Structure 1
Amino acid sequence: MPTGVAIRDVREQLRAAAERILLRDGPNALTSRAVTTEAGCAKGVLHRHFTDFDDFLAELVEDRIARLDDRSDALHDSAGTGTVTGNLTAALTELFESVAVAIVALITSRDGLRTRLRRTTPTGVPLLTEAAAMLASYLTAERDLGRLPPDADPGTLAPTLIGAVHLLFADREDPPPTEKAVEDVVSTVVRT
């Protein structure tokens, strides 16, 4: 006699549950029990698919990093269209309105998770490092098109933008910043 109903795409279901918890309650509330309860499955399901909870969290972060690839291509393809400030404002808002702020807090608070993520992101803060690379690629394309000064340094501008805009979104208690607030920071940093 079966003990339950098979769960379709259990990894995705568990990741989605973890993201809901991160957005709603923050990284301190993220436990294996909370994830399985939120996903509506037995706790053992998580441990059947992952070595341990940090293994699950590493896959969660790596999934978010992989999602940046599509966004990176779209941002790079937007070079030469719209405005530099507008394109950067949209990309940074999309990045930080998602679960990214909570994931960054999760990464910085869990030593075991950071250790696992060092295999693929040996320096910097995983997710933010890849986001900075995305912005640097875009900024390089815009500089090459003449829409940024020839002496603009994408390698410095990108992490500066990430840090400044992350600070705008970091407060989970207040509403997110307005588009104008993000745009003001972006235009100040890139001086467009």
Structure 2
Amino acid sequence: MPTGVALRDPRQQLFDAAERVLIQAGVTGLTSRAVTTEAGVAKGVLHRHFADFDAFLADLVLDRVARVEAQATALRDAAGTGTVADNLTRALITLFEPVMVAIVALIIARDELRARLRAAGTAQFPLVGESTAMIAGYLTAERDLGRIALDADIHTLAPTLIGAAHLLFTERKDSPEPSAVHKIVTTTLTSATRQP
């Protein structure tokens, strides 16, 4: 790319390129060269905005954490509307879109990245912990409204839902049918939901 050409939002352009590389080439194909090539920029652009490649990856994940936190707010606000199972099904389908699944694999694969994320204040298992907190926050709101049993073990239900959904989304190339996600939700919540 010629020098002197202003980039509109280089950080976002690089994040978008990294997500495309993750989807196309997987964790092992995600390199600084692959990202800058996909973004159509010189390699120096990445290093002008980030201290090193792990700092770039940490910011990429933190950007995704911020999206999960925004989704958590919207999900809590949905408490008391629709059905608990439908709300959770939609939330899990939104959460586990292909980029999210790929980023979780990236976090697992890179020790330095996990260390940086934890130093930045993420959950012990970055991104997965925030996702679990999102589900737990929603279930707590529904319990407060009487739609989840008072004795429901939310701290077991939330990670169970996240783990089961994550497995469902990682075991296939295409996204699972919404009915498969809904079945996980309804099966997990069988003893916790109150019948109207």
TM-score, scaled relative to structure 2: 0.92
Cα shift at 1:128 = 0.8
Residues of 2 paired with 1:165 and 1:154: CA distance? 16
How far 1:22 sits from its partner (Å)? 1.2
Alignment size in residue pairs: 190
**SS of 2:48 mapped into structure 1:** helix
Compared CA separation, residues 90 and 20, structure 1 to 2 (3 A): same
- When structure 1 is superposed on structure 2, of 78-87 and 144-153 the one drifting more is 144-153
Structural mapping, 1:138-177, within 5 Å = 138-171=138-171, 174-177=173-176
**1:16-35 CA distances to partner (integer Å, 9 max, x unpaired)?**
10011112222111100000
Task: State how far apart, in whole Å, the 1-side matches of 2:121 and 2:101 are.
Answer: 18
Given that residues 54 and 112 in structure 1 are in contact (C-alpha distance below 8 angstroms), is that contact kept between their aligned partners in structure 2? Answer: yes
Q: CA deviation at 1:120?
A: 3.1
Counterpart in 1 of 2:178? 179
Measured after TM superposition, the shift of residue 122 of structure 1 is: 5.6
Structure-2 residue corresponding to 1:37? 37
Give the equivalent residue in structure 2 for 1:20. 20
Q: Where do 1:76-155 residues align within 5 Å?
A: 76-121=76-121, 123-155=123-155
Contact 1:101 1:170 in 2 (8 A): yes
Shift of 1:107: 0.4
Task: Give 1:57-68 correspondences, 5 Å limit.
Answer: 57-68=57-68
How far apart are the structure 1 equivalents of 2:25 and 2:85?
Answer: 32
* Cα RMSD after superposing both structures: 1.4
Are the counterparts in 1 of residues 18 and 30 from structure 2 also a CA contact under 8 Å? yes
8 Å Cα contact 1:104-1:125 kept in structure 2: no
CA 108–4 in structure 1, closer or farther in 2 if over 3 Å, else same: same
- Structure 1 residue ranges without an equivalent (≥5): none
